[in-house]
Homo-oligomer: A and B are copies of this chain.
Amino acid sequence: MPSPNPSNDKSSQKAPAAKSESSITPRSVSYSDWYLDVIRQAELAEHSAVRGCMVIRPHGYSIWEKMQRELDDRFKATGHVNAYFPMFIPLSFLTREEQHAAGFAKECAVVTHHRLKSIDGVVQVDPESKLEEPLVVRPTSETIIWNQYKNWIQSYRDLPLLINQWANVVRWELRTRLFLRTAEFLWQEGHTAHATEQEALEETAKMLDVYADFAQNVMAVPVIKGRKTPGERFAGALDTMCIEAMMQDGKALQAGTSHYLGQNFSKAADVKFLNREGKLEYVYATSWGVSTRLIGALIMTHSDDGGLILPPKLAPIHVVIVPIYRKDDEKERVFAEADKVKAELCQKGLTVKFDDRDNMQPGAKFYEWESKGVPIRIEIGPKDLEKGVLCLVRRFVIEQPGESVEDQRKRRKSFVPRAEAIDSIVRTLAGMQQELFDRALAFRQSRTRVIDNLEDFERFFKQEGGGFAWVHWAGTGDDEDQMSKRFETTIRCIPLPDQLPAGAQGSGTCILTGKPSAQRVIMAKAY
């Protein structure tokens, strides 16, 4: 018989805390080590033997599946359908749009042969299987998709064409980082075709709103909507809109982009349509995408030194039940109650894990599920049954000024009368979702400055930890490079007018050049 720790007392709580401290580097020691430790402890992903390519482990992938479902529902609700296009792009297609080709040329995986052969007993690439035309593994699919749209679009009646694709893409990166930058990654790419510029511009803005809604209301990640400067645009776009989030180290992370492509790709693929006036015209295009990078954003926005923290809406498991017992008859009663609680929670639409492993101490289970980010743990022991309560432990509470880790730990735990417990859990989860957003927003505000001169700018980034600097800007691309060299900052976006906080509105003078500036931009260090 197993003899796990029998009670909800302090000792069972301390074990995981001690283990936690040894396993996850605190953010204050090394933010980048902390990030990798959180991923490792939560078993989200790991490097593979293939240079730059990661393995998304089951727990990480289940978060991606949740994201996919939420995004896909939103795409379909806005009239889009899914399709699938080849992952190979003939070299000649990729190079049809000049800027596009130039933008992706340096990071292309290229298929050149189609057969292996055993030569002198060693299996190697068969030199006789060389392809007439090399094939590039898609870094993005504009060129191959627009080549197909040519067959599908004849008149304005065929428009708009609102198609999305879930796929893997490859961009050969030299320096990789789990989720944030890998050679192969998973994403969705929307590619839409429209009869008018106006409609395409509206689509570009609409999909940015879809992304912002998803980021804020599902991921609990506050974002600022804006546009990129010409130098930061997608290769081949006339306009790139983006959402930018702030990570816990004050750096910006681009969380999604939506591009207005004008007629660049329809011209490259020669896709014309008969408009309402009966004239032939090139089609107007947009494209938009988010990727597994969002999992990186999720981790770096919410997690703490104890490991992963997930917003309930993206948690693959909402509640874990850990049974606590010593004797057989205790086990029987505790398991019966656990089954009952689980069934009641499942009826509320929650995903519940009953951790009935008998070769593991409760403390080790607490630690495992905390580091994997399960929002609520229920501990069920004989005493709880006697008292008619459920012991609920939240994954986190919002820090109060001056509060010790021990005090926080106490606040995370509550004993709720059994009859009220199920509703209480549902309410608590909704509350946690909102608290995460509020905390992230408050953090961003605490690391945001409206700055009007280079001295303050320098102090902010070199002494005060940096963050988002709202500055007036009227410089050139070269001026941007200069800022980047001096401060490692870039223009994250030119925020949309309704995104400007109080005190940042109106015109002014460029922080670097002193030239007149119509509005402020956000400068920050970035991932």
A168 within 8 A of B: yes
Q: Quick one: which of B55, B95, B107, B113 contacts A86, CB cutoff 8 A?
A: B55
Chain B CB within 10 Å, residue with most, of A106, A110, A134, A172: A110
A359 within 8 A of B: yes
Task: List B contacts of A54 (CB < 8 A).
Answer: 86
B-contacting 9-mer, from A143-151, A305-313, A403-411, A486-494: A143-151
**Bound-state Cα–Cα, A137 to B123, Å:** 16
Task: List B contacts of A180 (CB < 8 A).
Answer: none
What's the tally of chain A residues with a CB closer than 8 Å to chain B? 65
**Bound-state Cα–Cα, A53 to B87, Å:** 9
Task: List B contacts of A60 (CB < 8 A).
Answer: 83
In the complex, are the beta carbons of B157 and A359 less than 8 A apart? yes
In the complex, are the beta carbons of B101 and A184 less than 8 A apart? no
Q: Which residue of B lies closest to A123 (CB)?
A: B95
Q: Quick one: which of B90, B109, B135, B144 contacts A114, CB cutoff 8 A?
A: B109
A186 within 8 A of B: yes
**Bound-state Cα–Cα, A151 to B163, Å:** 39
- In the complex, how many angstroms separate the beta carbon of A117 from the nearest chain B beta carbon? 7
A108 within 8 A of B: yes
- In the complex, how many angstroms separate the beta carbon of A295 from the nearest chain B beta carbon? 11
**Bound-state Cα–Cα, A51 to B94, Å:** 16
A463 within 8 A of B: no
Task: List B contacts of A81 (CB < 8 A).
Answer: 58, 61-62
In the complex, are the beta carbons of B82 and A49 less than 8 A apart? no
Q: Which residue of B lies closest to A292 (CB)?
A: B84
Cβ < 8 Å to B, chain A residues 78-115: 81-91, 93-95, 101, 104-115
In the complex, are the beta carbons of B83 and A57 less than 8 A apart? yes
In the complex, are the beta carbons of A136 and B148 less than 8 A apart? no
A332 within 8 A of B: no
- In the complex, how many angstroms separate the beta carbon of A240 from the nearest chain B beta carbon? 22
A65 within 8 A of B: yes
**Bound-state Cα–Cα, A82 to B63, Å:** 11
A48 within 8 A of B: yes
Q: Quick one: which of B106, B112, B115 contacts A106, CB cutoff 8 A?
A: B115
In the complex, are the beta carbons of B88 and A116 less than 8 A apart? no
In the complex, are the beta carbons of A110 and B86 less than 8 A apart? no
**Bound-state Cα–Cα, A58 to B167, Å:** 15
Known contacts: A49-B147, A53-B86, A144-B50. The answer to whether A116 contacts B106 by CB under 8 A is yes
**Bound-state Cα–Cα, A300 to B97, Å:** 40
Task: List B contacts of A168 (CB < 8 A).
Answer: 87, 167-168
Task: List B contacts of A114 (CB < 8 A).
Answer: 107-110, 172
A46 within 8 A of B: yes
Q: Which residue of B lies closest to A114 (CB)?
A: B172
In the complex, are the beta carbons of A105 and B115 less than 8 A apart? yes
A125 within 8 A of B: yes
A118 within 8 A of B: yes
Task: List B contacts of A424 (CB < 8 A).
Answer: none
In the complex, are the beta carbons of A61 and B90 less than 8 A apart? no
Task: List B contacts of A62 (CB < 8 A).
Answer: 81-82
A476 within 8 A of B: no
Q: Mark A36-72, 1 if CB is under 8 A from B, else 0.
A: 0000000000101110011111101110110000000
Cβ < 8 Å to B, chain A residues 309-351: none
Q: Quick one: which of B64, B88, B125, B137 contacts A53, CB cutoff 8 A?
A: B88
- In the complex, how many angstroms separate the beta carbon of A106 from the nearest chain B beta carbon? 6
A513 within 8 A of B: no
Known contacts: A55-B148, A83-B55, A157-B359. The answer to whether A91 contacts B116 by CB under 8 A is yes
In the complex, are the beta carbons of B359 and A88 less than 8 A apart? no
**Bound-state Cα–Cα, A359 to B157, Å:** 9
- In the complex, how many angstroms separate the beta carbon of A141 from the nearest chain B beta carbon? 11
A124 within 8 A of B: yes
Q: Quick one: which of B106, B125, B148, B359 contacts A48, CB cutoff 8 A?
A: B148
Task: List B contacts of A89 (CB < 8 A).
Answer: 50
**Bound-state Cα–Cα, A61 to B80, Å:** 13
Known contacts: A81-B62, A82-B61, A107-B115. The answer to whether A88 contacts B50 by CB under 8 A is yes
Q: Which residue of B lies closest to A360 (CB)?
A: B157
In the complex, are the beta carbons of A125 and B144 less than 8 A apart? no
**Bound-state Cα–Cα, A219 to B49, Å:** 39
Task: List B contacts of A93 (CB < 8 A).
Answer: 49
The residues of A with any CB-CB pair to B shorter than 8 Å are 46, 48-50, 53-58, 60-62, 64-65, 81-91, 93-95, 101, 104-118, 123-125, 134-137, 144, 147-148, 151, 157, 163, 167-168, 170, 172, 184, 186, 359
Q: 6 closest pairs, A vs B, by CB?
A: A53-B86, A105-B116, A58-B81, A56-B84, A114-B172, A95-B123
- 14 new A-B contacts, CB < 8 A, other than A64-B84, A95-B116, A114-B172, are A55-B83, A61-B81, A61-B84, A91-B125, A94-B123, A101-B123, A105-B118, A105-B123, A106-B115, A106-B116, A109-B111, A111-B137, A112-B112, A113-B134
